[in-house]
Every structure is written in structure tokens, then in C-alpha cells.
Structure 1
Amino acid sequence: MERSFEELVAEAAEVSVAGWDFSWLDGRATEQRPSWGYQRSLGERLARASAALDIQTGGGEVLAGAGAFPPVMAATESWPPNVAKATGLLHPLGAVVVADEDEPPLPFGDAAFDLVTSRHPVTVWWAEIDRVLRPGGTYFSQQVGPASAFELVEYFLGPQPADVRRSRHPEDARRAAEAVGWEVVDLRHETLRTEFFDIGAVVYFLRKVVWMVPGFTVGQYLEQLRELDRLIRREGAFVAHTTRFLIEARKPVG
């Protein structure tokens, strides 16, 4: 029996959105993954590191699944529910999780790490990462690119200005890395297909990825959600396109 709009929305509005595990969306939404395989590539770099830092680790799920950690492994996170979740997940694997406000200064000494990583950071403090990175060290990160899932953003917020649509461009990341003196050794960008198969998946996604539609609540967007529910039932899915880029940069030795 097909579930009603009210049932789907009520369920999605109540489920926990702590951590960075999207398994609740299994069968309800799909997101094409980048071809470079970030978690696998992260594991390869962790295996070669002696001291690593994962910034904005979320609930620690990606880091926990990347493989064996180096002798020193630290992670930072700012949101208290994620700090608790990451601590429970990463401590048994040998990583220390530090509550941090995601703004300078990082709670570590100069040149403390030979590898700094981050998956989907909200903000990148390039100069501060440079401070904690050893000469010869590597920064490795997968980031959200420009106008990611803007079909969904603009459905709720309307057309966005050109500067907003261009923000988070990979070439801006290249310039920022080079501005602190790093050599960019890899920079890739892909556009990927995302599908939402019911309105509950949309509600859950917007509750979890809070920067897509800032301040999102079901009550505020109830009528638009009803319209989107009808569209999904009619067409089978709401399709958006996410953008991702991978950047790897090295700090010079001298």
C-alpha cells in the first residue's frame, strides 16, 4: 500500500540525523559516487602516514572505514552529537577525537602532521592547515563543488545569484592552496546524478545537510513539499546533480 504524504514526512521529520551515515536513505534515494573512490584513496594515504589529522570528521564513518590508522591519528568535529558518535566509533580504532569549533586555531602544534584530510569540509582554513602540516606533508580532500544539487536548492529558494552558483569552484581551491605555498598534484571534478524516490528522503536530506536550505523546517515549506510529493509520485523521482572535486596538494620541504 502506498504511503501517504503525511506518513512519509512525519517519519523523516522524527528520525535522528546525527552522524554522517546516510543508510536511512537506502532504497529511497541514490547518489552517484565519484570515480576516484575517496575512502579507498584515503586508506592508501593513511597507510603511508606517521601522523594524520582528519578535519570535520562528522560521525567518523568515512575515516573508520578507510583502513588501518597511522601511529598518530586525530580527528576534529564541532557538532556535539557527531563528536559523541565519532568518539565511540574511532577511539576503539586508535584515533583521538577533539571537539573543535571548525575555525582557527586548530588545537594542535605547528608541523604536527604529515597528512591532513577532510571529506566535504564546510570551510577550509588553508593557512591554519599549512601551520599544522609538516614540510613535505600532504593535504587530501574531497569537497562539494559549485551549484551542487541546486535543482533541489532552487526548488525551495528560487534562482540563486551567479556568484552563489559559482562558489566552491575547484579552481578557487587550487589558487588558495598555491597561495599558502603548496603544490597541487591532483585536482579532479565530476558532476553526479542524485535521485529522490519519495518526499521523506527529501525531508531527511534537508534536515541532515543543513546548509542546502538554511533553516529548513517542514512547516515553513509545507506547500512546496506537497507539490514536490506530487511530482515524485507522477515522475517516479526528483533528479538533481551534485558536484564533487578532489584536491591533493603537498607542502614543500624547504
Structure 2
Amino acid sequence: MTRSQKDEAFYRSLVNEYNYPFSGWDFSHLNGRMTDDEQPLPWEYREEVKALLPHVHSLLDMDTGGGELLASLQPFPPDTCATEGYPPNIEIARARLEPLNVRVYAVQDDENRALPVEDQRFELVINRHGAFDPRELWRVLKPGGLFVTQQVGGNDNIELNRMLGAPEPKYAGWNCETAVKELQEAGFEILTQQEAYPVTRFYDVGALVFYLKVIEWQIPDFSVERYFERLLEPHGRIQREGSIVSHSHRFFVKARKPTA
């Protein structure tokens, strides 16, 4: 069916949103157009990590992105490293972190999740929204070392999939209970576990398009062409109600490798 001139103009505007450049895990393009902090999480990942740093001499930040969060945690322990597996972010992270004496390791095989660092090197491993293998964590942590992670749960913004008639996310079973079980099976002692479902709000459909382009695992086959007709419904709802709402899924775990 041929689109009306109005729909064609709207379609082009969404394509422009989809094609807007993105790098370094910088979501500033969505400032004022999407909010996910109306309800503070029951924990504060950054502050939890920062409180530990004066007490350790070695730190690994897994999946550092563009290094933005890690750079904000200065001063660092003497031996601080980071890993990153998303190719566009590797050089961004190196440019930001290596002048701060933080070595950035490229991780090429996300399915393997192997860490290119020595056994028992780190007293603290941190991970914000990155995949991990408990056996690799066990290998690289010193006895008594800590693992601190904030994860995106498998039901993250699942309403968007349902709204657009898309398949549910591949990792729908990923939650705090599952992560804790895997860590315990690897030998870790769980110190803290928390889970939350804060509100995510979109104020225009262009913001939703950009978000789904970046968070490519939410709807792996997403494109404006494929989902345009489905996008008209949330567009109309935003025009009537001012926003559309879904729910993020986050959980926090702090675990320790026993000393014996």
C-alpha cells in the first residue's frame, strides 16, 4: 500500500533517527526524549564500587563501553584494566583510559567470554551490563576477591516487544535468581542480591527507534521498514497521552571468592 505524503514524511523522519550516529555508549541524543530514572534503583552501582576502591590494589572493569563510567571512578588502584568487546568502542575506550594508565583489552569472542588476563590477578572485578562466565571470574580473582555487577535482566522493556508484535527477548530467563545460582555453583559466596523494575518512558517514537537501533538485542530484526506500521500505534498514543511506558529490569549482585 502506498503511504500518504504525511506518512512518508514521518517514515523518513524515523529513518533519520535510526541512522543518527552512535558511539561510546553515549545516549545524550535521547536527553529529554526518554527517561529511565524516575524511580531510583534500590542500590547505587557507582557508589558501591567507589567505596571498595580504596581497599584494593587491582581492578578489572568488564565490558567498559567507551570507558566513561570507569574514568569517573578515579583515583584507580595501581593495577587497573578493562575489557571491551564491541569493536566501535574499543578505540574510544583506549583513547579515554590508556592516558590514565588503564590497559584496555579487546575481547573478540563474546560467546566464549574468556578474559585475556592472568590467573588470580585481581582483588575486584566489576561489571555493569556485560556478560560474564562465573568460571572465568573465579580464575582471575584472588582468594577473597569480590565481583560486583549490575545486570540488565531478560525482561528488560519486554513491553516494547509486545507493543510492536516482536518476538520476546532471547535472554528472557536471565534474572537475579539465575545469576546467583550460577555464581554459587562456581563456588562464590553471595553477599548482596537485589532486583528492580523501574519505569522507562519514551516521549517520541523517534527516541524509541534510536533506542531499538542501539539496543540491538531487544528486537534483533528491528528496522523502520519492517516495523513502520507497528510504530504508528505508539506514535498515536504519545500524541494522545504524552508518552509510552515500559519497565526496565535490573539486578545487582555482590559475590566473594572464598579464601579457602
Both structures adopt the same fold (TM-score exceeding 0.5)? yes
Contact conserved, 1:5 with 1:199, CA < 8 A, in 2? no
Q: Secondary structure at the match of 2:224?
A: coil
Contact conserved, 2:213 with 2:222, CA < 8 A, in 1? yes
Q: Say if 1:44 and 1:7 are closer, same or farther in 2 by CA, change over 3 A.
A: farther
Task: Give the corresponding residue for 1:98.
Answer: 105
Counterpart amino acid of residue 37 in structure 1: E
Aligned length: 248
Runs of 4+ in 1 over 6 A off after TM superposition: none
Indicate the percent of aligned positions where both proteins have the same amino acid.
37
Task: Give the corresponding residue for 2:116.
Answer: 107
Counterpart amino acid of residue 43 in structure 1: K
Task: Give the corresponding residue for 1:71.
Answer: 78
Instruction: Tell me, in whole angstroms, the C-alpha distance in 1 between the residues paired with 2:211 and 2:201.
Output: 11
1:1-254 residue pairs with structure 2 within 5 A? 5-6=10-11, 8-32=13-37, 33-101=40-108, 102=110, 103-121=112-130, 123-158=131-166, 160=168, 165=172, 167-254=173-260
Deviation at residue 96 of structure 1 after TM alignment:
0.9
TM-score, with length taken from structure 2: 0.89
1:218-241 Cα distance to aligned partner (Å, 9 max, x none): 111111122221221121111001
RMSD: 1.9
Q: Say if 1:164 and 1:104 are closer, same or farther in 2 by CA, change over 3 A.
A: closer
Counterpart amino acid of residue 180 in structure 1: A
Deviation at residue 6 of structure 1 after TM alignment:
4.1
Deviates more, 1:65-74 or 1:22-31: 65-74
Instruction: Tell me, in whole angstroms, the C-alpha distance in 2 between the residues paired with 1:179 and 1:210.
Output: 30
Deviation at residue 68 of structure 1 after TM alignment:
1.6
Instruction: Tell me, in whole angstroms, the C-alpha distance in 1 between the residues paired with 2:213 and 2:167.
Output: 21
Contact conserved, 2:63 with 2:83, CA < 8 A, in 1? yes
Instruction: Tell me, in whole angstroms, the C-alpha distance in 1 between the residues paired with 2:12 and 2:225.
Output: 15
Q: Say if 1:47 and 1:5 are closer, same or farther in 2 by CA, change over 3 A.
A: farther
Instruction: Tell me, in whole angstroms, the C-alpha distance in 1 between the residues paired with 2:239 and 2:12.
Output: 14
Q: Say if 1:41 and 1:205 are closer, same or farther in 2 by CA, change over 3 A.
A: same
Q: Secondary structure at the match of 2:29?
A: helix
Deviation at residue 105 of structure 1 after TM alignment:
2.6
Q: Say if 1:148 and 1:78 are closer, same or farther in 2 by CA, change over 3 A.
A: same
Counterpart amino acid of residue 202 in structure 2: F
1:101-156 Cα distance to aligned partner (Å, 9 max, x none): 233431111101111111011x3211011101110100000001241111112222
Deviation at residue 215 of structure 1 after TM alignment:
2.7
Structure 1 portions without partners, runs of 5+: none
